[in-house]
């Protein structure tokens, strides 16, 4: 004969109709006499009846269509928000880039200067209104697909730097510095190559998406608000008579002077005056500007010459990806630890034997993969805790063959930390 407690434990099976004939008879006899158990049976039956009513609800066709429509609309909006390889750059930022560029960015700055000229012409606006002649200069260059020019930058106290720059829109740029160094950017692959002929060294890296704008602005950059243009007459430039235009934006530092050939109506010389944050003035002269010139595409190859020693360095794209993967891995580990704690709650404090035991706790195979090392089936090392447990005890960490910048480590209290030093990790592990 079962006790009251034993019968009480059978009440759920009773209301679910899962008792054997003998158990059923025993429970019914007890319930008829026990007020506490009969009350519980009534409550459980009311609970089951109520959930059965909930089961009857369903979504109609209109609701389904409406939900699908809303979903697809959101997806379209998200797609539009997704970063494109060529984001637009604000006008004020463009002017700052032109005027504040450090020497390593001067090549890009020179491209932007030309982009400004082209787009002003293309879209009209205050400059075109101010000077029809200047508009004529620009009209001739707005459809250029290739560009080449030479730029010399002179900064007080430093040797003049001269660079030859070639561009094939919209992806490729090659910059040859006076010391022989060659810098090639391939925005279609998001890669840069720097060739150092002195050391026969080829350094490959990624390039940030922000610099991809350089060429896109040729077409999308509209008139520059607040920029004044003034015709400053004619003078001899490189043995030719040229008409000058002076551009300035409000009270901001820096100015641009464009000298154009009155016959071809093409710019033949662009002078920039730049001032850096410390007030040092650099003067840049852009000459030998050739539009739609023939450029050999092999000049833009990011495949290093065979005789060069290759070195790959982490660029901004790789750094961003690594941080993103690290953050996602941390989320995976937090989920695994939370599921483990749920498991222990339901197993009298026992931790799972393996992470595969967490399948019933929302941990699927995808979560067991570390995004930083997606080739590994199980990206995490699990240390099943035994006996007395300390909250600072390591129970999970990222599997790695070689220590790099650090790893995410999960502790018995469910928190995850990024540990940078291997020695710190080993100390914690020994605990």
Nearer to another protein, 70 or 92 (CB): 70
The binder of another protein chosen from 19, 23, 24, 40 (CB under 8 A) = 40
Nearer to another protein, 28 or 424 (CB): 28
Nearer to another protein, 54 or 430 (CB): 54
Task: Give the residue among 87, 88, 83 at the shortest CA–CA distance from 222.
Answer: 88
Query: b or e along 40-52 (b: 16 or more beta carbons within 10 Å of the residue's beta carbon)?
Result: bbeeeeeeeeeee
Q: How many residues does the chain have?
A: 431
State the nearest-atom distance from the C-beta of 389 to another protein, in Å. 19
State the greatest distance between any 2 C-alpha atoms of the chain, in Å, as a whole number.
Answer: 118
Q: Which position has the token pair 């999970």?
A: 396
Q: Tell me if 429 contacts another protein by CB under 8 A.
A: no
Q: Tell me if 76 contacts another protein by CB under 8 A.
A: no
Q: How far apart are CA 269 and CA 289, in angstroms?
A: 7
Q: Tell me if 6 contacts another protein by CB under 8 A.
A: no
Size of residue set near another protein by CB under 8 A:
43
Nearer to another protein, 50 or 405 (CB): 50
The binder of another protein chosen from 4, 28, 67, 129 (CB under 8 A) = 67
Q: Tell me if 418 contacts another protein by CB under 8 A.
A: no
Q: Tell me if 1 contacts another protein by CB under 8 A.
A: no
State the nearest-atom distance from the C-beta of 207 to another protein, in Å. 23
Task: Give the residue among 123, 134, 128 at the shortest CA–CA distance from 219.
Answer: 123
Nearer to another protein, 296 or 345 (CB): 345
Piece of the chain touching another protein by CB under 8 A; list 31-39, 162-170, 316-324, 416-424: 31-39
Nearer to another protein, 67 or 429 (CB): 67
State the nearest-atom distance from the C-beta of 57 to another protein, in Å. 5
Q: In the numeric block, which tokens belong to residue 331?
A: 């989320």
Q: Tell me if 51 contacts another protein by CB under 8 A.
A: yes
The binder of another protein chosen from 66, 84, 235, 264 (CB under 8 A) = 66
Q: How far apart are CA 418 and CA 424, in angstroms?
A: 11
Q: How far apart are CA 313 and CA 318, in angstroms?
A: 9
Q: In the numeric block, which tokens belong to residue 329?
A: 């891995």
Q: Which position has the token pair 């604000």?
A: 90
Q: Tell me if 53 contacts another protein by CB under 8 A.
A: yes
State the nearest-atom distance from the C-beta of 352 to another protein, in Å. 12
Q: Is residue 47 a contact partner of residue 23, using CB atoms and an 8 Å limit?
A: no
Q: Tell me if 71 contacts another protein by CB under 8 A.
A: yes
Q: Is residue 354 a contact partner of residue 372, using CB atoms and an 8 Å limit?
A: no
Burial (0-12, 13-18, 19+ Cβ within 10 Å), 354: exposed
Q: Tell me if 288 contacts another protein by CB under 8 A.
A: no
Q: Which position has the token pair 């009270």?
A: 251
Q: Is residue 118 a contact partner of residue 110, using CB atoms and an 8 Å limit?
A: no
Q: How far apart are CA 153 and CA 161, in angstroms?
A: 5
Sites for another protein among residues 167-226 (CB under 8 A): none
Q: Is residue 295 a contact partner of residue 148, using CB atoms and an 8 Å limit?
A: yes
The binder of another protein chosen from 1, 32, 59, 430 (CB under 8 A) = 59
Detail the DSSP E strand segments found in 73-156.
146-155
Q: Tell me if 32 contacts another protein by CB under 8 A.
A: no
State the nearest-atom distance from the C-beta of 328 to another protein, in Å. 10
Q: Tell me if 63 contacts another protein by CB under 8 A.
A: yes
Sites for another protein among residues 329-368 (CB under 8 A): 342, 345-346, 359-362, 364-366
DSSP state of 295: -
DSSP state of 124: -
Task: Give the residue among 213, 217, 214, 224 at the shortest CA–CA distance from 120.
Answer: 224
Nearer to another protein, 3 or 423 (CB): 3
Q: Which position has the token pair 């602005």?
A: 217
State the nearest-atom distance from the C-beta of 186 to another protein, in Å. 24
Nearer to another protein, 42 or 303 (CB): 42
Radius of gyration for the chain, computed over Cα atoms and rounded to the nearest angstrom: 35
The binder of another protein chosen from 4, 6, 70, 384 (CB under 8 A) = 70
Q: What are the phi and psi torsion angles at 268 (to 5°)? A: -115, -15
Q: Tell me if 420 contacts another protein by CB under 8 A.
A: no
The binder of another protein chosen from 4, 68, 102, 415 (CB under 8 A) = 68
Site residues, another protein (CB under 8 A):
12-13, 15, 35-36, 38-40, 42-44, 46-48, 50-55, 57-59, 63-64, 66-68, 70-71, 74-75, 78, 342, 345-346, 359-362, 364-366
């Amino acid at each position: 004969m079962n006790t009251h407690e034993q019968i009480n434990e059978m009440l759920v099976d009773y209301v679910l109709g899962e008792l054997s004939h003998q158990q059923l008879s025993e429970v019914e006899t007890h319930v008829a006499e026990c007020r506490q158990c009969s009350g519980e049976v009534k409550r459980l039956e009311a609970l089951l009846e109520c959930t059965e009513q909930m089961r009857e609800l369903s979504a109609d066709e209109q609701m389904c269509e409406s939900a699908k429509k809303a979903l697809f609309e959101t997806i379209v909006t998200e797609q539009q928000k997704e970063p494109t390889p060529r984001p637009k750059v604000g006008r004020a930022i463009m002017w700052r880039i032109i005027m504040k560029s450090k020497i390593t960015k001067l090549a890009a700055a020179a491209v932007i200067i030309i982009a400004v000229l082209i787009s002003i012409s293309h879209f009209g606006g205050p400059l075109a209104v101010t000077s029809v002649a200047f508009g004529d200069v620009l009209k001739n260059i707005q459809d250029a697909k290739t560009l080449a020019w030479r730029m010399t930058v002179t900064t007080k106290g430093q040797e003049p730097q001269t660079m030859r720059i070639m561009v094939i829109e919209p992806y490729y740029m090659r910059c040859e510095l006076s010391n022989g160094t060659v810098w090639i950017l391939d925005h279609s692959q998001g890669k840069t190559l720097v060739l150092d002929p002195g050391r026969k060294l080829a350094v490959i890296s990624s390039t940030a998406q922000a610099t991809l704008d350089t060429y896109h602005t040729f077409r999308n950059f509209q008139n520059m608000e607040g920029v004044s243009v003034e015709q400053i007459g004619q003078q001899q430039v490189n043995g030719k008579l040229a008409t000058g235009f002076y551009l300035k934006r409000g009270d901001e530092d820096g100015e641009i002077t464009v000298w154009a050939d009155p016959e071809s109506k093409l710019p033949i010389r662009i002078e920039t005056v730049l001032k850096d944050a410390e007030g040092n003035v650099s003067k840049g002269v852009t000459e030998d500007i050739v539009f739609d010139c023939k450029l050999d595409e092999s000049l833009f190859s990011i495949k290093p010459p065979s005789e060069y020693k290759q070195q790959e360095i982490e660029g901004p794209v790789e750094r961003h990806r690594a941080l993103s993967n690290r953050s996602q891995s941390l989320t995976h580990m937090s989920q695994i630890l939370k599921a483990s704690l749920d498991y222990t709650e339901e197993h009298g404090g026992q931790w799972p034997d393996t992470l595969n035991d967490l399948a019933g706790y929302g941990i699927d195979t995808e979560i067991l993969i570390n995004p930083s090392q997606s080739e590994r089936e199980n990206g995490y090392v699990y240390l099943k805790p035994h006996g007395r447990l300390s909250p600072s005890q390591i129970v999970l960490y990222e599997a790695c063959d070689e220590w790099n910048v650090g790893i995410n480590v999960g502790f018995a209290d469910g928190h995850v930390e990024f540990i940078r030093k291997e020695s710190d990790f080993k100390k914690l592990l020994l605990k």
